[in-house]
Amino acid sequence: MKKTVLVIDDSDTLREEILRSLRGVSLFDTYLEAGDGLDGFKVLLNNRVDLVLCDLEMPRMDGFRFLTMMRAREEFQDLPVIILTGREDRDTKIRGLEQGASDFVTKPFDTGELVARVRVQLKMKGLQDELKRSNEMLRTLSITDPLTHLHNRRHLMEMVDKEFQRSSRKGAPLSLVILDIDYFKKINDTYGHQEGDRVLTILADIVRRRLRSYDLAARYGGEEFVLLLPETPVQEALSIAERLRLEVQEHVFEGSLGGLVITISLGVATYPSSRVESIDSLFRQADEALYRAKQGGRNRVELMAGASIEKGVP
């Protein structure tokens, strides 16, 4: 990946000397510069930077103020900053380190020392970035169903808890849809479990396409899925469920599944409601609605008991 350095110093001569030293060892692909902390911060906001070399004493905004503004933003928390200063007193260095400086280079600087300190900071940042990527990958794996790549049940319950609390505070509607593939056992018996898994992944793709960016879909278990729909009243949840039902029914399978037609049954529940006072009752109402959809002939959507389809008010 290409690397970028930002050099901030009010001395044109010193900036050029630093840039020349860094170009001589080819540590970076892009070299940016600014004459003071204010301009440097603007450059930082508009560019992806891997390391900053910043003078301590500058007009308009000095190095201390620059560090304070930079560390106040989450995206810059791990960005290494090497402070350039003519001061050698202990208090200055302690203050700079406390405000987020990664290292100090004293002016006039030795080119070899400057390059060595830059190399160390780049290596440390590379290790930190790799650790963050690994942690993010582990986080993704821990909340994802390995077959369908939808969220797993554990993450679903965490998000339901958060959204239920938010809905309780704001009085905003929260809808839950439980859906189940009709006669899925017959699909497994006829085509085999490997093709049955393929049906599950295709259904997951359809669900993923149908949902809005702030909705959440999870595999709840087996051939059962759950949709969590924040800020969604019952009538809108019913429309989403019905469109999904139709899209699944109309899906054309290819290959060894050619000619297969699958359908789903769905149950919809919404909070707040006189029948829903907790997460457990929200799931229970959706599950009972799903059961009625199954009993009513399958391939249909049912609302929680007492919900009004016309007014959309549970």
Q: What is the pLDDT of residue 309?
A: 55
Residue 60: what pLDDT? 87
The pLDDT value given to residue 85: 87
pLDDT of residue 274: 86
- What amino acid is encoded at 147 in this protein? L
pLDDT digits (tens, 9 = 90+) for 274-310: 889 999 999 999 999 999 999 999 999 999 987 765 4
Give the integer Cα–Cα distance in Å for 219 and 148. Answer: 8
Place of tokens 């399958």: 298
pLDDT in tens, 54-99: 998 888 888 889 999 998 999 998 899 999 988 777 888 888 888 8
Please compute the mean of the pLDDT values over residues 174-202 and round it to a whole number.
Answer: 96
* Predicted local distance difference test score (pLDDT) of residue 228: 98
Compute the distance between CA of residue 246 and CA of residue 92 in angstroms, rounded to an integer. 68
pLDDT, the chain, mean: 92
Tally the C-alpha atoms within 13 A of residue 200's C-alpha that lie toward its C-beta.
Answer: 24
Percent of the chain with pLDDT over 70: 98
Catalytic residues: 223
Phi, psi (5° rounding) for residue 178? -110, 125
Tokens of 23: 């170009």
Percentage with pLDDT > 90 across the chain:
79
Q: What is the mean pLDDT of residues 28-53?
A: 95
Strands (E) in 213-254, as ranges, are 216-221, 224-230
- Euclidean distance between CA atoms 81 and 67, whole angstroms: 8
Local confidence band at 312 (pLDDT 50, 70, 90 cut-offs): very low
Report pLDDT for 239: 95
pLDDT value, residue 311: 39
| Predicted pLDDT at 146 | 95
Looking at residue 310, its pLDDT comes to: 46
Q: Does the pTM of the predicted model rise above 0.95?
A: no
Contact between 48 and 6 under an 8 Å Cβ cutoff? The reply is no
Domains and CATH numbers, the chain: 4-141 (3.40.50.2300), 153-303 (3.30.70.270)
Please state the rounded mean pLDDT for residues 143-171: 95
Which pLDDT belongs to residue 21? 93
